[in-house]
Amino acid sequence: MDSNVPRARVPGRSGTDRPGPAGTPREDPVLVIGAGPVGQTAALLLARWGVPVVVLDARAQRDLVGSKALVQQRDVIDVWCAVGAGDRIAAEGVTWTIGRTMFREREIFATRWIDRGASPLPAFVNISQTRTEDLLDERLAANPFIDVRWGHEVVDLRQDGTGIVVVCRTGDGVTTLRGSHAVACAGSRGDALRRILGVGFDGESFTDPFLICDIRTDLGDWARERRFYFDPEWNPGRQVLVHPCPDSVYRIDWQVAPGYDLAQEEASGALERRIRRIVGERDYEIVWKSVYRFHARCANRLRVGRVLLAGDFAHLVSPFGARGMNSGVQDAENAAWKIAFARNGWGDAESLLESYHDERIAAAAENIAVSTATMDFLVPRDEAAAAHRLAVLERALEDPSVHPLVDSGRLAEPFWYHGSPLVTPDPTRPAPTRPPKGEYPAPAPGVLVPDFPCTAWGRPQITRFRQLIRDGLLAVVTGGPPTVPEATDALSSLPVPVTVVDIDALTVDGLARRCLGIRDGETWLVRPDGHVAAVTTSPAALIDAAHRTLGLPAEARTV
């Protein structure tokens, strides 16, 4: 575990002093299929729980080229902080807090992101996926629990009651490996593995392609903000998105016509003219370029026995909103703690694994709905839709009440699990709906807790609240009832590590109470991924909620 996080006050029983689920050898690793950012994150989080991991990737080596998924959201950076990489990713990336949406050459509005808490982490950081992978690779290489194997293409996968067997094609022939579980992060092109698992991947593909270029140049004030243009004179009738990146690089996405030919445009000099219409006479260098078509697809099952599907292997969305990799990292965190708990016997393995499907397919549906609405506005499907969009954009220049109808991409946000079987509803805090753009839902069961500066037990290394959440369950009490000793006693029978804290011991000025919205007499139970599991008002309700969070059936709970 991360040395910066205090050990649990109620220690539970760890995987080193407890056998695994019946028939599962403790030495069997978890197999992570795919070494992209989602697979890297899953491996690092599993290792943080003391779980051995073997990472398998069909490629001979990493392809370190291009910005790819470059917008990293605050809560994802927080996940990477837990595995030792987030601070460096945040420091090396370009921090931005303003997104400008333009129609032709006029600004319609600027969006600023509102933090429910007081997190020291930036709302968004732009850094190339390749650099993110490089920094995560450093953590993988330093972790004795992780074995990364390149050139291992999974060509078969079988399951039985005690584990998984995969067959891999390698440069030396065929090899077979066994694991207790698997996280399948094989990417968007993992059709063969999806067929092996028997899952569909239905959805749609958008016809208009997008040209993407990473360009090194100096664009002055653009270096600290995202800019989205509808119908600029230098891409008439279509859109352009500009993101600043480190090292004076800008990621520029142009919507282009169906049938676009990049090689022909380069040969004719049209690509040079296209770029000059943005950068002017400044010197520039093309660092990377590509053409993409975007998709909205989701697997019909995100759990197949002991295999959990994650990232682009599980779902695809358009990049306007940065919901691809950010959502994939949240898949990885959800999968990691549930697999670790299942292996250690810290709850009902079947319920925990099935809840991964319940929670993350709901998150995927939300992301697809949001990103598809964006694409429908960016690329109208017929003349009537195009006319409607034009009317909205023209009115929005003068009428702020129309701004919510202008869709240039709703940026990534963590999903809220209010409908999860692991979450206990609170009738005094209604289930959240989609909040206004740039805002988070108010803290409530299922919602990710806000972060804020804090101290804990005089430990100077604890500087913010979310450093307390990833060692097991966290109970936050308000002084009673129950008191910290009473809550500790109530939770002492649980097999899982539990930390119990008094809300007023975390901050001296009431900041913790204000950020959470916690009321006197309440105890909040927080899951290892930081989502609120329950808000309770008695020791009996607290233990019942904890049992629900561990997937235990109703008859095994206390009330």
Sheet containing strand 153-159, strands side by side: 153-159, 164-170, 173-179
- Chain-centroid distance, C-alpha 289: 26
Residues 6+ positions from 398 with CB-CB distance below 8 Å: none
Q: Does residue 557 carry a pLDDT above 60?
A: no
How many whole angstroms separate alpha carbon 43 and alpha carbon 489?
Answer: 34
Is the bond preceding 553 in cis, omega lying within 30 degrees of 0? no
For the ranges 4-13, 333-342, 474-483, 492-501, the maximum mean pLDDT occurs at 333-342
Q: Does residue 127 carry a pLDDT above 70?
A: yes
Residue 533: which pLDDT band, with cuts at 50, 70 and 90?
Answer: very high
Mean pLDDT (whole number) for 10-15: 35
Phi, psi of 473 (to 5 degrees): -95, 150
Label the pairing between strands 71-73 and 124-126: antiparallel
How many whole angstroms separate alpha carbon 105 and alpha carbon 277?
Answer: 13
Q: Is the dihedral of CA 242, 244, 245, 247 positive or negative?
A: positive
**How is 50-115 classified by DSSP, letter by letter?**
T--EEEEESSSS----S--S-EEEHHHHHHHHHTT-HHHHHHHSEEE-EEEEEETTEEEEEEEPPP
The tens digit of pLDDT for each residue in 99-113 reads 899 999 999 999 887
Mean pLDDT (whole number) for 186-209: 94
| Tokens, residue 348 | 């009902």
pLDDT score of 497: 95
Residue 21: which pLDDT band, with cuts at 50, 70 and 90?
Answer: very low
How many whole angstroms separate alpha carbon 368 and alpha carbon 361?
Answer: 10
Q: For the stretch 119-134, what's the b/e string if a residue is b when 16 or more beta carbons lie within 10 angstroms of its beta carbon?
A: bebbbbbbbbbbbbbe
Residue 24: which pLDDT band, with cuts at 50, 70 and 90?
Answer: very low
Label the pairing between strands 30-33 and 181-184: parallel
Residues 6+ positions from 450 with CB-CB distance below 8 Å: 115, 116, 117, 118, 119, 440, 443, 465, 515, 516
How many whole angstroms separate alpha carbon 427 and alpha carbon 440?
Answer: 20
CA angle 335/338/339 to nearest 5° reads 80
Percentage of residues in the chain having pLDDT higher than 90? 78
Q: In the 3-class helix/strand/coil scheme, how is 187-223 assigned residue by residue?
A: CCCCHHHHHHHCCCEEEEECCCCEEEEEEECCCHHHH
pTM: 0.93
Residue 17: which pLDDT band, with cuts at 50, 70 and 90?
Answer: very low
Phi, psi of 452 (to 5 degrees): -165, 155
